Structure 1
Amino acid sequence: MEDNIFCQWSVFRSLLAILQWWGFNVTVIIMNKWIFQKLDFKFPLTVSCIHFICSSVGAYLVIKVLKMKPLIVVDPEDRWRRIFPMSFIFCINIVLGNVSLRYIPVSFMQTIKSFTPATTVILQWLVWRKYFDWRIWASLIPIVGGILLTSITELSFDMAGFCAALFGCLATSTKTILAESLLHGFKFDSINTVYYMAPFATMILAVPALLLEGSGVLYWLHTTTSLESSLIIIFSSGVLAFCLNFSIFYVIHSTTAVTFNVAGNLKVAVAVTCSWLIFRNPISMMNAIGCGITLVGCTFYGYVRHMLSQQAPPGTPRTPRTPRRIELLPLVNDKNDKLDDKV
């Protein structure tokens, strides 16, 4: 009886974690698109900077004031030598995501972001000379095919937004790969990650945002109507972006790797549907089919990764495998492949 109750509670907890993750993630994406399109606040660097500031303050409150999470202490030298380069990639990743949202619909942007598994595998193969099981390569075929079909049939295609989203995938993959070496030995959770990286990202982004968008922001402040409500929406998106990080931490510890992968792909479908209902961007039948193929491919990729990891004996990772080299202990597992939604 007790086991049955515990099992039911675990299922309920996992479902609750997934739903709140979906809620924060989709809300942040929709709010950012609303800011760019409806509020006419077309300043992605400034929006990203506001998100980093809110996340820095939120992480400080959670760790230092509320003491909800213990602080993982990092030496000042390691902060600059290891965390700062990660923060730079982290910053580029978020900025490119917001730039793509300015120019292309949420549905197209989310579909392109699903290309991240493919860019991760290709980068590891080309740059780090890691070798993968043939089933990993086979699982990338529907992802690549779906992206190509979606891009060709996208009715609101914009080259600037497409390139920003595509390079955002590369930045996400680079961040994931570099975490294995730069953060080796530091078992960061998402809150400690934000605690250390968000202030660096704010510092990196503040000067470019002021130089490139400062005058435009001042003009917007003087000319926009209903300024107070607009500012509330903009800063609320930053607060929700921090809550998204917290929800990611919760869902990772409440679900399995396979559940997390499937839930992540369903989240994309939810975001695409909500975006279409709100913004009514045109979507052709072939475009929707391409998006569906991509999501099915991502789910298949996650299943293959999980299956190969279960087959490998302990201590001998098979996916990826690197012959004639000492394999670094991974700091990011299959679940963390989806942590590109941070901030």
Structure 2
Amino acid sequence: MEESVIFQWSVFRSVLAILQWWGFNVTVIIMNKWIFQKLDFKFPLTVSCIHFICSSIGAYVVIKVLKIKPLIMVEPEDRWRRIFPMSFVFCINIVLGNVSLRFIPVSFMQTIKSFTPATTVVLQWLVWRKHFDWRIWASLIPIVGGILLTSVTELSFNMFGFCAALFGCLATSTKTILAESLLHGYKFDSINTVYYMAPFATMILGLPAMLVEGNGVINWFHTHESVWPAVIIIFSSGVMAFCLNFSIFYVIHSTTAVTFNVAGNLKVAVAVLVSWLIFHNPISAMNAVGCAITLVGCTFYGYVRHMLSQQSPPPGTPRTPRTPRNRMELLPLVNDKLDDKV
């Protein structure tokens, strides 16, 4: 009886974690699109900078004031040598995501973001000459095919937004690969990651945001009809962005890798549906099919990764300089659980 109660609580906790993660993630995406489209605040650099400021403050409060998470100490030299390069790519990743949201629908942007596993595998293969099991390559076929079908049939296609989203995938992959090498020896959770990276990202982005968008923001303040309600919404999106980071910490400890992968792909479907209900962007039948193929491909990719990670190398396998030491070396170094940080 006691085991049944524990199992039920575990299931309830997992469902609750996934739902709150979905809620924060979809809310941030929809709020950002609302800011660009409905509030006519077409300044993605400034929005990203506000998100970083809110995340910096939120992480400080959680770690230093509320002491919910212990601070992972990092040497000052390592902050500049390891974390600063990560912060730079982290900054580019978020900015490109917001830029793409300004020009293309949420549904299209989310579908392109699902291309990240493919870019990660290709980058590691090209740069590090990393070996991958043939099943990893096969699992990328429906992802690539679905992206191509979605792009060709997208009714609101915008080349600049498409390129921003695609390069955002490359930035996400680069960030993940850099994390494996630059943060070796430090076991960061999502809150400590934000604690160290968000201030650097704010510093990196602050001056470009003022130079590129400063005059536009000032003009917006003078011409927009309801400035302060709009400002509240913009800063609320920053608060929600931090809450999303904190929710990832809860999900990591409440679900398995397979559950997370499936939930992540369903989250994309939820974001597409909610954005369509709010913004009524046109979606053709073939476009919906392409999106579905991409999500199925991502789920299959996650399943293949999980299956390979559970296997041991065959006994007596001869070792060569290019032979992976174990099955995990056949897998991409992508941490899907941390790719949603904003």
- Output the TM-score relative to the length of structure 1: 0.95
1:6 counterpart residue number: 6
Q: Residue 340 of structure 1: CA displacement?
A: 2.2
- Give the 5 Å matches for 1:1-343: 1-312=1-312, 323=322, 336-343=335-342
User: 2: CA distance between counterparts of 1:128 and 1:169?
Assistant: 18
- Deviation track 1:251-300 (CA, whole Å, cap 9, x = no partner) reads 01100000000000000000000000000000000000000000000000
- Output the TM-score relative to the length of structure 2: 0.95
Once the two structures are overlaid, the 10-residue window that deviates more, 18-27 or 333-342, is: 333-342
- Deviation track 1:73-98 (CA, whole Å, cap 9, x = no partner) reads 00110000000000000000000000
Q: What is the percent sequence identity of the aligned residues?
A: 84
User: 1: CA distance between counterparts of 2:84 and 2:324?
Assistant: 27
Unaligned runs of 5+ in 2: 315-319
User: 1: CA distance between counterparts of 2:202 and 2:157?
Assistant: 31
1:131 is paired with a residue of what secondary structure? coil
Cα 1:98/1:304, change in 2 over 3 Å: same
Amino acid at match of 2:69: K
Q: Is the 8 A contact 1:252 1:335 kept in 2?
A: no
Q: Is the 8 A contact 1:86 1:197 kept in 2?
A: yes
Q: Residue 333 of structure 1: CA displacement?
A: 9.1
User: 2: CA distance between counterparts of 1:325 and 1:218?
Assistant: 56
2:130 is paired with a residue of what secondary structure? coil
Q: Residue 341 of structure 1: CA displacement?
A: 1.7
Q: Residue 335 of structure 1: CA displacement?
A: 8.1
Amino acid at match of 1:277: L
2:142 is paired with a residue of what secondary structure? helix
Amino acid at match of 2:214: G
Q: Is the 8 A contact 2:52 2:201 kept in 1?
A: yes
Q: Residue 323 of structure 1: CA displacement?
A: 2.0
Q: Residue 336 of structure 1: CA displacement?
A: 2.5
Amino acid at match of 1:336: N
Amino acid at match of 1:215: N
User: 2: CA distance between counterparts of 1:209 and 1:326?
Assistant: 46
Q: Let me know the Cα RMSD of the aligned residues.
A: 1.9
User: 2: CA distance between counterparts of 1:171 and 1:245?
Assistant: 18
Q: Residue 313 of structure 1: CA displacement?
A: 5.6
User: 1: CA distance between counterparts of 2:338 and 2:84?
Assistant: 18
Q: Is the 8 A contact 2:180 2:333 kept in 1?
A: no
Unaligned runs of 5+ in 1: 315-320
Q: Residue 226 of structure 1: CA displacement?
A: 1.0
Q: Residue 322 of structure 1: CA displacement?
A: 8.0
Q: Is the 8 A contact 1:47 1:234 kept in 2?
A: yes
Q: Is the 8 A contact 1:111 1:147 kept in 2?
A: yes
Q: Is the 8 A contact 2:100 2:160 kept in 1?
A: yes
Q: Is the 8 A contact 1:190 1:248 kept in 2?
A: yes
Amino acid at match of 1:174: T
Q: Residue 135 of structure 1: CA displacement?
A: 0.3
Q: Residue 324 of structure 1: CA displacement?
A: 5.7
Q: Is the 8 A contact 1:176 1:337 kept in 2?
A: no
Cα 1:197/1:326, change in 2 over 3 Å: farther
Q: Is the 8 A contact 1:33 1:102 kept in 2?
A: yes
User: 1: CA distance between counterparts of 2:230 and 2:38?
Assistant: 10
User: 1: CA distance between counterparts of 2:97 and 2:13?
Assistant: 30
User: 2: CA distance between counterparts of 1:184 and 1:295?
Assistant: 31
1:318 counterpart residue number: none
2:144 is paired with a residue of what secondary structure? helix
User: 2: CA distance between counterparts of 1:298 and 1:228?
Assistant: 41
Aligned residues: 335
User: 2: CA distance between counterparts of 1:10 and 1:208?
Assistant: 46
Segments ≥4 residues shifted beyond 4 Å: 324-327, 332-335
